Structure formats: C-alpha cells, structure tokens
Amino acid sequence: MSSISQNRTVTVIGASGVMGSRLCRRLLGAGYTVHTFDSVHRNSTTSSEPLLICHKTLNDAVAPSDVVILAVPYAAELLLAEQLTTQIGHRIVVSITNPLTPTLDDVVTPPGESAAEHLCMLMPEARLVKAFNTLSAAAFDVSPDEGHQFDTFIASDDAEAAHVVEQIITDMGFRPWYVGCLKHSRTLERMSALLIGISQRYELDGALGWHVVQAKL
Ligand SMILES: NC(=O)c1ccc[n+]([C@@H]2O[C@H](COP(=O)([O-])OP(=O)(O)OC[C@H]3O[C@@H](n4cnc5c(N)ncnc54)[C@H](OP(=O)(O)O)[C@@H]3O)[C@@H](O)[C@H]2O)c1
C-alpha cells in the first residue's frame, strides 16, 4: 500500500466532465500528478499545469497510474470496462457513478445490485473501489477553508485499495469513511438519489452533501 499511496499519481478518465474537471482540480491542488483522457484534452499538446498530463489514448492515460478514476456516466463505465480489460490489470479502479433514473431521484439498478458490482464483474482483476459518488459537483467548488467539510464514503472488498483511496480523499480536502465491502455501493448509490430527491422536494440549492455528526455526550 505505501508504495502506491506515496506514488501520488492518479488517472482521471472523463476529465473534461463536470465531476472529472473538479476531481482533477482538487488532485492537482493537493500536489498529485494527474493523467487524463477525454475528447477535449486529448488533442491539446500543451498544458499550463505542469502536473496535468493529457493523453491521446485510453491505454496511455492508464499506464502511468496505480489508481484510475472513471469520471464517466454509468453506460460509459461499462463500455470502458470492455475497452480496458487488459490494460487495467490489478490497478485500483474508482467508480464514482450514480446509475440514476431520468427523474434523478432513484436508480435504474434492481434491488440487491449496484453499478459498482456490475463493473467489478466486468473487471474481475481490478481492485474496485466505490467513492466520491455521494458528493455533488458543487461540493468540489466549496473550499475546505470555508468551514464546510464534506464526507464521502468508500466501499470495496479490498481494504488496502480502500485505504489508498482514503488517503487521496483526505489529501483532496474531503473526509472519507470506509463503510466496508463493495456491496455497500448499493446503499451509497441510492444515497445520492435520496439526496437529489431531498433537494428537489425542499428546493435546496448550493452544495449539498452528507456529513456524519458525532455529538460527544
Ligand atoms: N454531476 C454530479 O454532481 C455528480 C455527482 C456524483 C457522481 N456523479 C457521477 O459522475 C459521473 C460523471 O458525471 P458528470 O456529471 O461529470 O458527467 P459529464 O459532465 O457528462 O462528463 C462525462 C465525462 O465522461 C466522458 N465520457 C463519456 N463517455 C465516455 C467514454 N465512452 N469513454 C471515455 N470517456 C467518456 C466525457 O468525455 P468526452 O467529452 O470525451 O465524451 C466527459 O468528460 C457519472 O457517472 C455521474 O453519475 C456526478
């Protein structure tokens, strides 16, 4: 674990997206080297950010990192699993997706299933970690210095991989909670739908997120 966590190199697939761009910004802010692949950056030859390296192919983007974050829609995650099966090997793969219905307040996956478990079946060699999915994109725009610390939850059957991601999350300024095995993704993905449902019902705007509170008695 220590060699991976000290590597401080992460690949973000979908770096041009709402979540991908924010993940990159936080990672770069924490001093990580970030390798990316997306349609916007793959044709750029230069970057104003020395630690941001944009690749022309998926395989080139994945090769330098032990940790690969898939910041893409659920359907694209499944496509990527097929495209990356050989290249991904035993890397840590982070699924951030919420397989939401068109109304956004529920998930399309049947009870007892999750997007992360589907991905895991397609990438059996990879060390699958569910994380970041319960954070809204707007939460990334709130500086930790502003007094709000957002929690995010990690589910994985691989405790060592979970701890690597835990460290990355901490470095990015969020508070991680490792909730246990990958099947807890079923709950985590539904937590996002629940939060969106709350925000719709109460017409909340701004950066929404979960926070575990401990009141000392
Ligand atoms: N938005 C949120 O608040 C939020 C919060 C938590 C979790 N999430 C999850 O985060 C993921 C991304 O959401 P988003 O809102 O950031 O979406 P988005 O803005 O539409 O970005 C999607 C990204 O995925 C890339 N992509 C799409 N299909 C691809 C493929 N087949 N291969 C490689 N890259 C592909 C796109 O790159 P190209 O331009 O190259 O197509 C784009 O960079 C989703 O799974 C969502 O459920 C979103």
Span 146-165, pLDDT tens digits: 878 899 999 999 999 999 99
Tokens of 132: 């970041």
Any domain includes 216:
no
Residues of the chain with pLDDT under 70: 1-6, 41-47
The pLDDT value given to residue 4 = 64
Range of the domain at 59: 2-201
Atom nearest to 138 CA in ligand 1: 3
- Give 148's contacts (C-beta < 8 A, 6+ positions apart): 142, 207
The pLDDT value given to residue 39 = 74
Task: Choose one of 18, 83, 101 to mutate for the ligand 1 pocket test, by most ligand atoms within 8 angstroms of C-beta.
Answer: 18
Any domain includes 213:
no
The pLDDT value given to residue 46 = 61
Any domain includes 209:
no
The pLDDT value given to residue 83 = 93
Any domain includes 158:
yes
Any domain includes 157:
yes
Any domain includes 208:
no
Cβ of 38 closer than 6 Å to ligand 1, yes or no, is yes
How many domains are there within the chain?
1
Cβ of 75 closer than 6 Å to ligand 1, yes or no, is no
- Cα separation, 36 vs 16, whole angstroms: 9
The pLDDT value given to residue 206 = 84
Any domain includes 210:
no
Residue 165: which region, alpha, beta or left (left: phi > 0; alpha: psi -120 to 50)? Answer: alpha
- Cα separation, 184 vs 130, whole angstroms: 9
C-alpha separations of 156 from 165, 173, 175 in Å: 10, 21, 17
Any domain includes 215:
no
The CATH number for 196's domain is 3.40.50.720
Cβ of 99 closer than 6 Å to ligand 1, yes or no, is no
The pLDDT value given to residue 148 = 83
